Amino acid sequence: MSRSYRVLALALVGVLVMVGLAQVIGHRDDAAPTDAAAAVDPAAANDTTVAAAPASGDTQAVTDEADGDVATTSTTVPPQTGDCTVTAAMKVGATGDEVSCLQSQLMKAGLLAAASGTFDAATDQAVRAYQTSKSLEVDGVAGRQTAQSMGIWAGPEGPLPATDADCPSTSHGAIVDRANQRGALCADGKITYQFPITTAWSQPDPGTYPVYAKDMNASSNFGGHYSTMTHFVAFTRGKYKGARIAFHSVPKLSDGSWVMPLEAVGTEQYHGESSGCIRVLPDDAQKIWDWLSQGDEVRVIS
């Protein structure tokens, strides 16, 4: 072979090598990103500090950032302005003088035509309209907050414990009572199990929320230290950073110690220790995980 042909052959080989390298690089560019560069799901952008959360029930750990908290003071009872009082929560089906008292206030507000002494559909509609106008939770139940707003509450000044009336509408549900640092599980509108909780001062706000995610393992850098938790059942998001708010077991530090004494869960001393989530004892975390599925409701009553 002449010198010119050998040069041409070598040049052709070089071109083929370059084409092959370009294809390899192209395939690498099309491949899924590594864990370190994985894109965060926009829907979860505010609640994780690493890659998007795994599917519900996945054993991979999900890292959450703390949402924050603001210390609050106890709500004082306003002066009574009505000419009657009520001492207990009321809803559809209730009867008696206290219902008549409630109805008289709704009449003064122009929301009800007459007082019958029976909490009927018209009274329910009027209570909901009143709650809407005062930015209260709209549930049709005339409880302490609604009656206090009307100035007719004469019941206990402290928070009332949860009752069956506080259960959400789903057959499986849960209650969060921040004021009393207590939670409950409900079956078909009945409380079946109650347990201590440790929460933030200022959130989650009263309302009814659906469970939207479950992760067996999660972690956090709250307080400047790394901690892990299990049985993470998320039902709402924080109002400061949009971080996920969930039931979960009391977190553990890297050395295996609990971030707070287990016997202190549910005590007023540790109220506010959480930065948004609902801390529960390990056994209760398991019960909540087993009981609640995505779509089941959690009602925060205080």
Q: What is 76-157's CATH superfamily?
A: PGBD-like superfamily/PGBD (1.10.101.10)
User: Which residues, 6 or more positions from 16, have their beta carbon under 8 angstroms from its beta carbon?
Assistant: none
Higher pLDDT, 75 or 191: 191
**Confidence tier at 67 by pLDDT (50, 70, 90):** confident
Higher pLDDT, 24 or 111: 111
The whole-number pLDDT of residue 71 equals: 61
What tens digit of pLDDT does each residue of 217-244 get?
998 876 677 899 999 999 999 988 899 9
The whole-number pLDDT of residue 160 equals: 72
**Confidence tier at 109 by pLDDT (50, 70, 90):** very high
**Confidence tier at 266 by pLDDT (50, 70, 90):** very high
Burial group, residue 178, by CB count within 10 angstroms (0-12, 13-18, 19+): buried
The whole-number pLDDT of residue 170 equals: 96
The whole-number pLDDT of residue 74 equals: 41
Closest CA to 200 of 243, 254, 261: 243
Q: Evaluate if residue 20 carries a pLDDT over 60.
A: no
Q: Evaluate if residue 57 carries a pLDDT over 60.
A: no
Residue 82: CB atoms within 10 Å? 17
Rounded Cα distance between 279 and 210, Å, is 18
Give me the DSSP letters along 180-241: TTEEEEEETTEEEEEEE-B--SS-SPSEEEE--EEEEEEEE-GGGS-EEEEEEEEEEE-SSS
Domain ranges, ordered by start, for the chain: 37-73+159-300, 76-157
**Confidence tier at 208 by pLDDT (50, 70, 90):** very high
Rounded Cα distance between 224 and 117, Å, is 57
CATH number of the domain at 37-73+159-300, out of 2.40.30.20, 3.20.20.410, 2.40.440.10, 2.40.128.50?
Answer: 2.40.440.10
Query: Are the beta carbons of 175 and 196 closer than 8 angstroms?
Result: no
The whole-number pLDDT of residue 24 equals: 39
Q: Evaluate if residue 77 carries a pLDDT over 80.
A: no
Q: Evaluate if residue 288 carries a pLDDT over 50.
A: yes
- Cis peptide leading into residue 206 (ω within 30°): no
Rounded Cα distance between 219 and 228, Å, is 4
Residue type at position 130: Y
What percent of the chain lies above the pLDDT cut of 70? 72
Characterize the bridge pairing of strands 297-300 and 207-210. antiparallel
Q: Evaluate if residue 78 carries a pLDDT over 50.
A: no
Residue type at position 123: T
CA angle 275, 180, 292 (to 5 degrees): 70
